[in-house]
Amino acid sequence: MNIAVLPGDGIGPEIIAEAVKVLQRIAQDGFDFTFETAPVGGAAYAASGHPLPEATLNLAKAADAVLFGAVGDWKYDTLERHLRPEQAILGLRKNLGLFANLRPAILYAELADASSLKPEVVSGLDILIVRELTGDIYFGQPRGRRTAPDGAFAGQPEAFDTMRYSRPEIERIAHVAFKAAQGRNKRLTSVDKANVLETFQFWKDVVTEVGQQYPDVQLDHMYVDNAAMQLVKAPKKFDVIVTGNMFGDILSDEASMLTGSIGMLPSASLNEKGQGLYEPSHGSAPDIAGQGIANPLATILSAAMMLRHSLGLPEQADRIEAAVQKALAQGLRTPDIHAPGTQKVSTAQMGDAVVAAL
């Protein structure tokens, strides 16, 4: 099983090192993992002038799965857009066809205090956001700058983008979401803005149609503004949420912050062939890079998702998740989740603790 390892920028290399350590420990039990590393993001731009070099893309395409750290650093903020680090992640999603982004928002009992929400509102929180990842206004053509061709400001300079979803794109993400709901509490909330957008009236119609194939799943529909409110008010009412790329970007980050410990949250981005890219939900945190204080657990949990969704090793995934739980139960905490009465450890010590728990 070939794993492409793309550490990226900021804390990326440090957290990836721990996840690889954990996977190597799993491999010792009789699995054949091959790791090949390549630069991505700002690191790749610095080395070769492009955030997603051809060789990196080819490595990712050929691999069974991609383990991704994080990209981005303020020093690249003034580059032209197509050279900026985050274009690498957009390019990987598009080129690998990674249309299904799974982002769990789970509150670990041990970390309940970290949330900015009241304990009774978030304790036991366990929701899954299924975000469409290759369509919508992220990639829709045409887009650009021009002189406004019509409307009240015709003749003025303007910029524009196109939101688009085709029927097959909506159908395939809906199937992913309904299946995910079947494996959980069998409730799915489709988030749209059908009262304003043609795209999301169509989205709602198609999701409703697909839902007829999943009579065991209770489907409801919610406007995105209301979803943003309900996540704050009563997040535990959700089980699985499915939505488009743009709304999913916003709501999945909002949901992850409800836990107060975004350093714990993994993500998976899958294509139709079962290939996937696995990355922590948090960013590259250049401000703390190189200090050995980053939390590697989101990346380690992303590696677990990789075993489950791309490498056909669900039991090994369970083992890793249990090992993470154990490290938490032992009171070990990186600084981002440290609280009185627990033991502060470094990035590497946390990785070692997970390996030991395995």
Ligand X SMILES: CC(C)[C@H](C(=O)O)[C@@H](O)C(=O)O
Nearer to a copy of itself, 121 or 288 (CB): 121
**Is 195 assigned a ligand-binding role in the annotation?**
no
Which residue, among 21, 53, 56, has the nearest Cα to 37 in the 3D structure? 56
Binding mask 249-288 for a copy of itself (x = CB under 8 A): xxxxxx-xxx-x-x--------------------------
Q: Is the bond preceding 235 in cis, omega lying within 30 degrees of 0? A: no
Is 77 considered catalytic here? Answer: no
Dist CA 52 CA 36 (whole Å): 16
Residues numbered 200-219 forming contacts with a copy of itself, rule: CB under 8 A = 200-203
Q: How many beta carbons lie within 10 A of that of residue 118, not counting itself? A: 8
Catalytic residue among 61, 249, 326, 344: 249
Nearer to a copy of itself, 201 or 346 (CB): 201
Q: How many beta carbons lie within 10 A of that of residue 183, not counting itself? A: 9
Q: Which of these ranges, 86-94, 117-125, 150-158, 258-266, lies near ligand X under the rule CB under 6 A? A: 86-94
Dist CA 14 CA 141 (whole Å): 37
Catalytic residue among 77, 225, 233, 237: 225
Q: Which helix (H) or strand (E) holds 348?
A: helix 347-357
Dist CA 357 CA 44 (whole Å): 35
Dist CA 195 CA 193 (whole Å): 5
Shortest spacing between CB 149 and ligand X, in angstroms: 25
Among 79, 197, 222, 348, contact with a copy of itself (rule: CB under 8 A) = 197
Q: Which helix (H) or strand (E) holds 24?
A: helix 12-27
Nearer to ligand X, 232 or 322 (CB): 232
Terminal alpha carbon distance of the chain: 20
168 binding partner (options ligand X, a copy of itself, none; Cβ < 5 to 8 Å by kind):
a copy of itself
161 binds ligand X (CB under 6 A): no
Tokens of 277: 């890219």
220 binds a copy of itself (CB under 8 A): no
Is 233 considered catalytic here? Answer: no
Phi, psi at 337, each rounded to 5°: -120, 10
Binding site for a copy of itself (CB under 8 A): 81, 84, 86, 90, 116-118, 121, 137-138, 140-141, 143-145, 148, 150-151, 153, 156-169, 193, 195-203, 224-226, 228-229, 231-234, 246-247, 249-254, 256-258, 260, 262
- Applying CB under 6 A, which residues contact ligand X? 86, 89-90, 195-196, 225, 249
